Structure 1
């Protein structure tokens, strides 16, 4: 199939499906101007931190415990690169499909919060979000729009302990609630799985695509490059997320949806 034929085939699948699982990574936010961190041209591509650490070492749970100032420095750098970013057409159109269909879920690796801002509510932020802080020593937690004016690292206003973003750092366990929610979605059943903008190197990201292929459930990948699931999917669109979702939407609707 050429690209237009593949778009027609995928649009037919999306139109027919009532229960869709979208799996998203950094590539979906690239059209909002966000870096892909470790990809070519990304924020940490082939560079060590000023301390001579890899970004995986700097952004680890062990570093947050031992040297929270170092860990927070690079969390803040990531947040600064996300600041002011707005959802793009891909985020908005996925949220619009959720409003139209009984069950449209998003499993995202991203911590930028753009799916939530776009209006997605059936959302599994498996790596958390930088905009929610929690104390490491007491139950205090709060949301922040950004890190402007935040002392780095920030003390807890209640007990004086360390605040940290509610994100999964390298070497930490995934949140059980998120895993349970994903398992419940798959157990209930889906008609279509769509992977967008992720290399799918983590087993829990590739897993739903593999599971769907074993169940003869249609699968789609939207990614300009080759990934861990490229050979598994039913259809591949080698396009950016915003271009692909816009093209699919226009095959199903006369115009883009109005924003909330």
Structure 2
């Protein structure tokens, strides 16, 4: 396994343009549940008898905001209770030492920013969990923790409208601004792309790997489980993200 880490470390050391793609597996090391770990799921359904994709969907937020917020609140409480882990800090250090290193994350916990990743090179493709905003008047509210101690759904103090987090729920479109930034950077090209804790089942995740592979660059995946992406990359390390990323940074910079 050390040989695989050395291979990735050498590719990162030589690269100027790097893309790190992160998913739920990275924040799982902080104790956060994935979407499918929310709500005490059993056989693919929540305790309310609905698939999590239905409970945490844009249409459900409009139809039954209390039910949708029941599961949003679980994610919100978990985000507040946990902290960035060694993997987040390792990625932030890589970005600080490599000015051409970008992060594309599917996570909404804000841990990359908290760990020190520069916001100008961070694409939070699914948004973040805070600040909340009113679906009726647009007023923002930063008191997420306070709202989660009150009856759900949280309400706007100005107009009484339902508050929501600026995240992409199931059946909602990805934000144009984030997609635009991603496409701009893909157009410039990357030398190396590394997936961390994501199964990469979306086209916007697969595309960077296909582009880098076709241009002769280096691709890698760090994830305990194999996925479709595992057959596409040059190196797959089947271990948890936090430990591997810390070792990678030590290999690259020798300190």
Taking structure 1 as the reference length, the TM-score comes to 0.90
For residues 100 and 141 of structure 2, the distance between their equivalents in structure 1, rounded to whole angstroms, comes to: 29
Which runs of structure 1 show a deviation greater than 4 angstroms over 4 or more consecutive aligned residues?
Answer: none
> Could you tell me which of 66, 69, 74 is aligned with 2:71?
74
Q: Between Structure 1 and Structure 2, which shows a larger proportion of helix residues?
A: 2
**Equivalence for 2:125:** 126
Contact 2:40 2:47 (8 Å CA) reproduced: no
Q: Which runs of 5+ in 1 are unaligned?
A: 256-260
**Equivalence for 2:52:** 55
Structure 2 SS opposite 1:184: helix
For residues 220 and 5 of structure 1, the distance between their equivalents in structure 2, rounded to whole angstroms, comes to: 13
More off after superposition, 136-145 vs 210-219: 136-145
**Equivalence for 1:137:** 136
Taking structure 2 as the reference length, the TM-score comes to 0.92
* 1:12 matched to 2:10: yes
Contact 2:148 2:154 (8 Å CA) reproduced: no
1:66 to partner: Cα distance: 0.7
1:43 to partner: Cα distance: 5.3
Contact 1:194 1:221 (8 Å CA) reproduced: yes
Deviations 1:126-162 (A, max 9, x none): 1111122111122312334535434411111222211
Alignment RMSD: 1.9
Number of aligned residue pairs: give it.
252
Contact 1:36 1:43 (8 Å CA) reproduced: no
Contact 1:38 1:45 (8 Å CA) reproduced: no
Structure 1 SS opposite 2:166: strand
**Equivalence for 1:101:** 98
Structure 1 SS opposite 2:128: strand
Contact 1:23 1:108 (8 Å CA) reproduced: yes
